[in-house]
Amino acid sequence: MLETHGKSAHTELAGSLASEVKKFVDEIIIPNEPQLAQDGDSSSALQAELTEKARSAGLWGLFYPLSHGGKIASLEDYLIVAEQEGRTEFSQAIFGSHSALDAHMLLKFGSDEVRKNFLEPMVKGKAIASYGMTEPEHGGSFPSLITTSAQLANGNWTINGRKWFVCNTDRATFVTVLARTAGENVAIHKALSMIIVPTNAEGFKVERQISMMGRSLGQGEMSFTNVQVPEHNILSCSGSGIALMGQRLNIGRLLRSMNWVGLAQRCFDLMGARINSERGLSARLPDKQLVRQHMVNTYQAITSARELIRVAARGVDAQRANDVEINVAKMAASQALCMASDAAMQLYGAEGISDLTPLSGIYRIARTTRILDGSDESLTSSVGRKLIDCYKDGGVYHFD
């Protein structure tokens, strides 16, 4: 799916970009986090201002396709950049990384009209993507239960249904909708399709914003009532929804995992700073064995997650995506962030659970990672089944 030419040159470039992104995050975004965390027009205006600064610095859309302004060719190379972007929860919007996956999907599977009407504006920063898969009536892990429908007649799709926990609901200009385009008598792997719907289409409605643990993270619910879009707004072809969903989930999980590891590193840095601060020294934190254990456990979790992500990303770049590698990497990154944020809050005490530090916000995000993009339980069950099946008939699992 991804472009991989010029690897050595782009690997070197990635290291330079990672340093630039780190500097931008430390000097420009992190000092503004308290204002960015507020709801309202002022925070939106500040985010737009910082986005323009990132664009002017040449740091916006780094993982877009090379043909559309991107600078990094492979997932493996992007890892070190994504980690630096991920050190603040506000980076995805400011650096445009939240729409990189959509850019690759639209480029590869979109019609000429889709590329012109949605991809081109998006890479120019004039359009914002979202993705609607999960529905209120059932869990997102069961595509066979999807009821949102799309019927083709007279050159138009007519879409009816509801989606929730859709990202960017508060500002998206278009949404990629997973809908049923065939009857119940058709096998599920041929029954679903992905269709692009502009959010200004008649019959589209944002029903509500959904806060996550008391905070707005851009998630919401939307409805489609006889929404009509042109036939060419479909991605790939009718019935390809399951295959596209698999590609989207695999790469999306890795991209988000890279950001989570960066956020875990941010917590790790905060832990080290707290331990060696005047207050930490007065409490003799460096000498306490349990404090040292927090540092070692967190380091081990972050390092393990990074390497698991690297292995999985390398597989995707080589066109041999491995669900076991990807899903285990996602769970490891989630566990690293949960461990790091929890340990950091322990070391900061009451300050850690207050708004005096960024840790309470990070902790909220950490908890959502165990559910969004596949819950721990569903991924563990899926991976476990595949590993067990490898040993049928005397087989083995090949770690290489």
pLDDT above 60 (res 5) = no
Contact (Cβ atoms closer than 8 angstroms) between residue 184 and residue 135 = no
Q: How confident is the model over 169-184, as a mean pLDDT?
A: 94
Q: How far apart are CA 304 and CA 265, in angstroms?
A: 12
Contact (Cβ atoms closer than 8 angstroms) between residue 220 and residue 166 = yes
Q: What is the pLDDT of residue 215?
A: 76
Percentage, residues of the chain above pLDDT 90: 86
Averaged pLDDT score across all residues of the chain: 93
Q: Which residues contact 169 (CB under 8 A, 6 or more apart)?
A: 130, 206, 209, 218, 219, 220, 221, 222
Q: What is the pLDDT of residue 9?
A: 65
Q: How far apart are CA 369 and CA 159, in angstroms?
A: 30
User: pLDDT tens across 251-272, in order?
Assistant: 999 999 999 999 999 999 999 9
Q: What CATH fold (topology level) applies to the domain 129-235?
A: Butyryl-CoA Dehydrogenase, subunit A; domain 2 (2.40.110)
Q: Which residues pair with 153 in a beta bridge?
A: 156
pLDDT above 60 (res 2) = no
Contact (Cβ atoms closer than 8 angstroms) between residue 274 and residue 288 = no
Q: Describe the crossing of helices 323-348 and 241-275 by its angle, rounded to 10 degrees.
A: 30
Q: How far apart are CA 155 and CA 149, in angstroms?
A: 16
Contacts within 8 Å (CB) and 24+ apart, 15-19 = 15/80, 17/59, 17/62, 17/71, 17/72, 17/81, 18/80, 18/81, 18/83, 18/84
Q: What is the pLDDT of residue 223?
A: 98
Q: What is the pLDDT of residue 398?
A: 87
pLDDT above 70 (res 139) = no
Q: How confident is the model over 72-90, as a mean pLDDT?
A: 96
Q: What is the pLDDT of residue 393?
A: 85
What's the gap between Cα 206 and its chain centre? Answer: 21
pLDDT above 50 (res 12) = yes
pLDDT above 50 (res 6) = no
Q: How far apart are CA 126 and CA 101, in angstroms?
A: 17
Confidence category of residue 124, pLDDT binned at 50, 70, 90: very high
Domain locations in the chain?
A: 7-101, 129-235, 243-391
Q: How far apart are CA 176 and CA 110, in angstroms?
A: 11
Q: Around Cβ 328, how many Cβ atoms within 10 Å?
A: 20
pLDDT above 60 (res 189) = yes
User: What is residue 26's three-state secondary structure?
Assistant: helix
Least confident of 50-54, 183-187, 237-241, 264-268: 183-187
Confidence category of residue 218, pLDDT binned at 50, 70, 90: confident
Residue in 241, 267, 277 with CA at minimum distance from that of residue 89: 267
Q: How far apart are CA 64 and CA 97, in angstroms?
A: 8
Q: What is the pLDDT of residue 137?
A: 78
pLDDT above 70 (res 34) = yes
Q: What is the pLDDT of residue 332?
A: 98
Which amino acid, 195? I
Q: What is the pLDDT of residue 10?
A: 65
Q: Phi and psi for 243 in degrees, rounded to 5?
A: -65, -45
Provide the CATH number for the domain formed by 243-391 in this structure.
1.20.140.10
Q: Around Cβ 359, how many Cβ atoms within 10 Å?
A: 26
User: pLDDT tens across 281-331, in order?
Assistant: 999 999 999 999 999 999 999 999 999 999 999 999 999 989 999 999 999
Residue in 344, 168, 176 with CA at minimum distance from that of residue 268: 344
Q: Is 7-101 in CATH node 3.40.50.300? A: no
pLDDT above 90 (res 39) = no
Q: How far apart are CA 161 and CA 150, in angstroms?
A: 9
Q: How confident is the model over 81-100, as a mean pLDDT?
A: 95
Percentage, residues of the chain above pLDDT 70: 97
Q: How confident is the model over 68-79, as a mean pLDDT?
A: 95
pLDDT above 50 (res 174) = yes
Q: Which residues pair with 174 in a beta bridge?
A: 129, 198
Q: What is the pLDDT of residue 23?
A: 97
Confidence category of residue 367, pLDDT binned at 50, 70, 90: very high
